[in-house]
Structure 1
């Protein structure tokens, strides 16, 4: 059976994106998509929350990465990003208000080298 995230359709359910692997350009498994963050006003997928590190799901780190930093690769059945493991580990720290903090969002997008989605 074909997994919905790997089908030829251009549409995919967010439920099927959750759990999809994320790889570096050289094929190193970096982590997986835990869930997506969607801007309610614009409808834009702002971030993919990527889980990485840990062991068997324990002590796993989660970092928001800009959705535009991911490209789906059907041959891998996952997303490829140019973000390195070191960049993930050094990403801007989050507090409880990160979702609504445009300064944090701008710093994060700038950290990953792309303009914020709202600009």
Structure 2
């Protein structure tokens, strides 16, 4: 029996390295665990920050601690510091929880305007990555 066009498209859209689709819906990323350099959980993704012009994910905002959303702390990590690990079922970073918690205060609430390039530069310098907008 011939393969249907829909199933052929789905097979072709799969990432050969993982066997899964290369794209993921944003609501499936939120809540995903992030594992640090020591392979221990360092938090979970609370939200993604996406550059409006390029469509590129710029940051992951991680939530730490708390209970039912109370007392939770948030920290911003440049998206380039995360990579998906199929075996862990979550994102991996080369950072430790202490490094993340020691990062410059960039995002600590819903009212942050995300317009301060100097704060963004400071954050990228701290993490040793090139800013998503270039230099």
Relative to structure 1, the CA distance from residue 62 to residue 104 in structure 2 (aligned partners, 3 Å threshold; closer, same or farther) is same
| Contact kept? 1:98, 1:104, Cα under 8 Å | no
Q: Does 1:107 align with 2:119?
A: no
The root-mean-square deviation of aligned C-alpha atoms, in Å, is 1.8
Q: Distance in 1 between matches of 2:38 and 2:100?
A: 16
Show structure 1 runs of 5+ residues with no match. 1-5
Unaligned runs of 5+ in 2: 1-17
User: In the alignment, what sits opposite 1:10?
Assistant: 22
Q: 1:62 aligns with which of 36, 56, 74?
A: 74
CA distance in structure 2 between the aligned counterparts of 1:98 and 1:116, rounded to whole angstroms? 18
* TM-score normalised by structure 2 residue count: 0.77
Does structure 1 conserve the Cα–Cα contact (< 8 Å) formed by 2:106 and 2:123?
no
Distance 2:83 2:97 in 1: 17
Given that 1:21 and 1:79 are in contact with CA atoms closer than 8 Å, whether structure 2 keeps it comes out as yes
Question: Aligned partners of 2:76 and 2:65: how far apart in 1?
Answer: 14
Q: 1:113 to 1:98 in 2, by over 3 A?
A: farther
TM-aligned CA distance change 1:106 to 1:20, over 3 Å: same
Which one has the largest radius of gyration? 2
2: CA distance, partners of 1:64 / 1:90? 11
1:24 matched to 2:39: no
- TM-score, length basis structure 1: 0.87
Q: Is the 8 A contact 2:29 2:45 kept in 1?
A: yes
**What is aligned with 2:89?**
77
